[in-house]
Every structure is written in C-alpha cells, then in structure tokens.
Structure 1
C-alpha cells in the first residue's frame, strides 16, 4: 500500500502537484480551421478546468502538417499555432495550474484529403487499417475506408524525429511546462512499435529493439529540448484502437518501459486496455489485463493511469500504489470542476458524446460548475 490519496501532493519532475486528478489529453477539434491555431474559446475551455497545483495534459497536437488525421485539431508547427497555445497556457497558469502538451503524429490514421497536396498518409509500412467498423475521418466530414499508406523512406525518419524536436521547442516557446510523447492508440509511434504494422527491414523494423528505436529517439530529442524531468510518454499496452494490437505485448512493452525507465522522465502514462478506443464509442473491454498492475514493477518513476476510472476506483488505484495519479477524460469534459466534485463527493454531470468533436461552445465551455461562483 502506498498510503497516498488522490488529494495528497505529488512531485512530478520540478513541479509539485497539490492533487492527483489529472486532465487527460482529449481531441476536441475546435481549433481555427485554416491555421489550426488554438482560439480564445480553447483558452476559456482549458482555463475552466485548471486548478491550483493541478496537471492538465493538453490535447494531442500534430507536429507536422503530414501528422494530421482530423479536421480542426490544433498543431504545434507554426508561429500562429504557438501564439494560440500561449493564450491557453496563460489561462491555465493564471489559475495556478500546470500544463503539458501532447505531441502527435497520426501516421496511417489519416486520409489523403487531410494531407498536404492530397498525398497519401505515411506509415512505417504500406499496411492499411482494415475492419468494417474502422473508417477514416475526411476533410469533408464523410467517413471513408482507410487508404493504403506510403511507407516512410529511411532518410525521412530523421525528418519525423526533427519535427518532434521542433514541436517540443515550440511548446517551450508557448510556455508549456513540458511535453508528452504520444506513443499510444495506434498512431505513428505505436505503428512502428507493433509487428503487424511495421514490416520494415531497415534499422527501424524487425527486432523489438529496432521497432522501439523511433519512439526512443523521439523521446531523446524532446529530452534534449526540455530536459528529462519535463517529458512524459503515453502508451497503450494491450490496446486495440485504430487498428492497433500486438500478438504478445509483454516482450515489446517490457523492453520499451525498461528503456524509458532509464531516462528519468517526468512520467509514464498508460491507457488501460478496458478503455481502448473510448474516443469512438462507449467501451468496457472484458477479460483484459491491467497495464498499471502489469508494468508498475518495471517503472520507478511517476505512473499515470487513464481509462474508465470513477472516483472510488481512482482512489483505490492510488492507495494501492498501482498508479501515482489518475487521468480523467470524458468526465473532465462534462465536469470542469472535476477535482472538487471528487473531493467533496458531488455527483458528476453526464457527458454528451454528440458534442465531443467539432462545433463551438456547446458541449465545450457550457458545462455547469457545481458552484457557479467557481467559474473563471
């Protein structure tokens, strides 16, 4: 037993959190649609959810135009995007909160309509996402089957690494307290990790060490910019989102986690398998392992877990030492004052899935506070 609680302080890198209720990175698709820069509405949304000494992991943000897989997702590769994010960061810091930016490249989880010049999405190998229920988001809003992506040439991988490095530098310029590398949910870095989507024969494919190389090189690039204590990584072992899934995840993820553990990072962040794919539909996968319980022995640093928690199960996970903090996603959408609701046993406002993605203030900044006097 750790004897910690959701409301005991936690040291995360150089930052001392006053509680352990973390806001998970949540794609909402409400950036400006031409520049892909955050807007004043985005700053209002994050400011509502900031608390003194609380941690927010801002939504996944493409590190390059080629890394985009949805319309209206904010990027972190242009000056205008940096300026937009600065407003968000300032809103969170004004309330005494901490905020990291999640760095993202979707790889094959995209469509040519969203790519520069209508090019095919890139991936480790020319392996498409298949499955009747798996469809690509398109620029015109109509879901379509995924295309066969173009395999990255070996020399292009250096450009991907550099895009993450520049994105980390841009995040620092915007005032973020650090960055999280998105290595989960079937996106580019997980595509490189997993054997069914990575059929390469160069130094980035084949063995587990080779398949893990890109993730680790990108982590090292971000560390070179921010320092290890300001870099986190998100993984989804046993996840099945966006066509992901490794036949035997234990050898792969044990290798990756041990390698990350050596780097002294700010945190490791798991998506629990029971909630894999929760962004698309209501899920509660049965008979799946617990990532935090399986891999906690391999990780000496701060461990964040996300996926399907309520107040009681979050408190139990922290008390048992399975995780040091719990990230909430869907309930942070509908409860801007979520930490206070958990602390005082106040019921949660239900979320409305129909307004998760795109749109304006409805379903974004109009959810009620239990005490409207707390609204920023």
Structure 2
C-alpha cells in the first residue's frame, strides 16, 4: 500500500436508497408493523400515535400497525381502525406528522397501512360482535379484552355472503387509507389472522369454493389482494405472509404446498411487494421466494435474544439483503429507538425495551419517551450514551 492509498470503511447496503413502485426510499430499513394498543377505544389514532410515528420517520418505509378494516374484524382492544370517518381523520394526522419529519432529523418516510382482520382472533367484549372465521374452530388461547383475559369464543363460520363482504371491507379500507394519506396498504395474510386462517388446514374445514384443496384455500387471500389492487392500484398494495410460523394457534398442515401456489397466483396480480416473516433460523425459504417473486421482497426474520442484543439485528438484516431481499423490516429496534436508523448507521448504543409497556397499556410511557442520541460532537467522536436507558444490550421484546 502506498502512502496515498487509504482503506475506506465498507458501507452497509442497509443505508443505500431503494425504489418501491413509484416511491424513492432513502434507505432499505422498514419499520415493521407493531401492535401497541395506543388508539382510543373507538379505534381513532390520536396525538400519541402521531408523535410515535413522526419520531421514527427516518425509516425508509413505515408499515403502520395492524388496523382493522371493519368492526367485526377487531382483534384486540385499543387497536386502530380505518372504517369510520373519525378513524380516517385520525390517521390523516399521523401521516401528516410523518411527512413533516422526525424532530429535525429529516425523514418523512413513506407509509403503508397494514390491514388486519382478526377472524377468529377476537372477542365480543372487545368488538361487540361474535368473531367470524372460515370455520367454527376456536382459538386455543386466551384473549385480552377490555375486561381482562378471556377464553376465546367459538367463531361463527362465514357464509358465502360473509366472505364476499369481508373482501369488500378490505377494498373499502384500502380506499380509506389512501384518503388518510398512506402511500398504500399491506394485506395481512400472516400470523394467524383471517386470510391465514383460510390458508391453513387446521382452521379451514370448508367444503365450498374457499376450502379443501390448496387452490381453494388460497382463494380468499387472492380475492382480497385482487380486489384491493382494483380499488387503489396494484402499485399501492403489498402482502405479508408467514410460512410455517404458528402464531395464534395456526396449523397450516401443508406449508410446502400452500405458498408456491399462493405466490404464483399473487404474481399474476403483481402487488408492489411481498413481505415475508421467517421463523428464527429459517434460511432456505429466502432463496426460494427470491426466485419465485420478481417484485420487491421485504424480509423479516425473528431474532434470537443474542442476535438482537449484539447489534439490534443489523447483521441479520445485512445477511437477508445478501441472500436476495430488497428491503428488510425490523421491529424491536424501532420500538425503543426513535432514531434507530441513525443508531444502526453509527453502531451506537440501543435503548433497552421496557417490555411492561409494549401492549395493552395507554399513555406515552414506554412508547414516546425513549430518548434519542444527543448530536455527535463536532470532533467526530462516537456518540455518548443515550442516558440511563441507553445500553448496548437491549432486552428482547
């Protein structure tokens, strides 16, 4: 090496710009949809949520938390909706705040809204309705309600009319989301919610056109995505799936048959992205999905405590990009760090997550009061600790 040569530090691909349909993203980091139960009892997003998302507006893309497209689809207390004028207005305040930036740190991230119909994941004490599902198969878990934990009820099996109404509700919710200022919506077909319940043999015992063989069980999800794309344009629609992930008591039964068929059918609609949740340690699916999916692939992998404690998931995110993902969504790091992108870029300390405030509580504590790093000194020295909650060993959520 000559005296004039320099060794330059490598630049992570996480911080490279990317395109998503007609959107230009400043980096490849996506804030994953995160249920925090901070909406009002009427499902209206308030100032707490506007502040929260604006704080995190340096993400390349924000996928806002699971939001119910209809009253009967509400899964949990104090989650937002997108089916009343008041809810639309509340979300408009949130998207306006995000466009304004992140407290002087820049940002103004693009936002998609995740549409989440609970299906059997719901309770009359929460929604005022008996939950609807593909079949009358009860969730084998207790559910949080306004009155505390309750046994899940047996859902009512959907009639053909109920199925068509649910599809229409997704489309109406998508139009409402665009009216509220979102760039698009994500159809939540993962984590044991209604579309996933149609996909899985354990929850879909139907014998009509939406049940039985794989080509019938994927029909509901495909119909939802096609109808939503028809309502707002395919470039505004993403889809989330979680192959083989048994959240909310889901039992797919034939995972290896479901997803090739589903992806092939979705590819004909050509939504703007596919968002895949991978179980911790699951590797081979990424290459398969990259080969099968010509559009944007967003990867989200469950992290071990050790992976999260080491660097907030940065190394895992970089590996996912190397294996074929276009964008990577992370959740826990964004929970506790309003400046998560900046911290990853600088390899700075991360705040500890205060898990007692994650869900089913109200107020700003453990939500909007996590500190940002102070500005870096002019000398270029490494940033100081974030204060009493700053730590390089953040707790797992």
What TM-score do you get using the length of structure 2 for normalisation?
0.85
Match of 2:333 among 322, 331, 339: 331
Maintained 8 Å contact 2:203/2:251: no
Match of 1:48 among 55, 60, 66: 55
Higher alpha-carbon Rg: 2
Aligned to 1:252: 258
Aligned to 1:19: 27
Cα distance, 1:345–1:366 mapped onto 2, change above 3 Å: same
How far 1:4 moved relative to its partner?
7.9
Give, in whole Å, the separation in 2 of the partners of 1:367 and 1:308. Answer: 23
How far 1:167 moved relative to its partner?
0.2
SS in 1 for 2:239: strand
Maintained 8 Å contact 2:286/2:323: no
SS in 1 for 2:269: coil
Match of 1:164 among 157, 161, 170: 170
> Please, which runs of 5 or more residues in structure 2 have no aligned partner?
1-10, 102-107, 304-312, 377-397
Give, in whole Å, the separation in 2 of the partners of 1:76 and 1:192. Answer: 22
Give, in whole Å, the separation in 1 of the partners of 2:375 and 2:335. Answer: 16
Maintained 8 Å contact 1:180/1:233: yes
Give, in whole Å, the separation in 2 of the partners of 1:371 and 1:260. Answer: 45
Report the number of matched residues. 352
SS in 2 for 1:256: helix
How far 1:307 moved relative to its partner?
2.9
Cα distance, 1:21–1:362 mapped onto 2, change above 3 Å: same
Runs ≥4 in structure 1, deviation > 4 angstroms?
none
Aligned to 1:296: 290
Q: Deviations over 1:22-41 (max 9, x none)?
A: 000011101111x2100011
Aligned to 1:100: 112
How far 1:292 moved relative to its partner?
2.2
Aligned to 1:354: 356
Deviates more, 1:3-12 or 1:79-88: 3-12
Aligned to 1:345: 347
Higher relative contact order (CA 8 A, sep 6+): 1
> Please, which runs of 5 or more residues in structure 1 have no aligned partner?
275-285
Give, in whole Å, the separation in 2 of the partners of 1:120 and 1:74. Answer: 19
How far 1:298 moved relative to its partner?
0.9
Match of 2:314 among 311, 316, 325: 311
How far 1:111 moved relative to its partner?
1.4
Aligned residues: CA RMSD: 1.9
Give, in whole Å, the separation in 2 of the partners of 1:85 and 1:115. Answer: 20
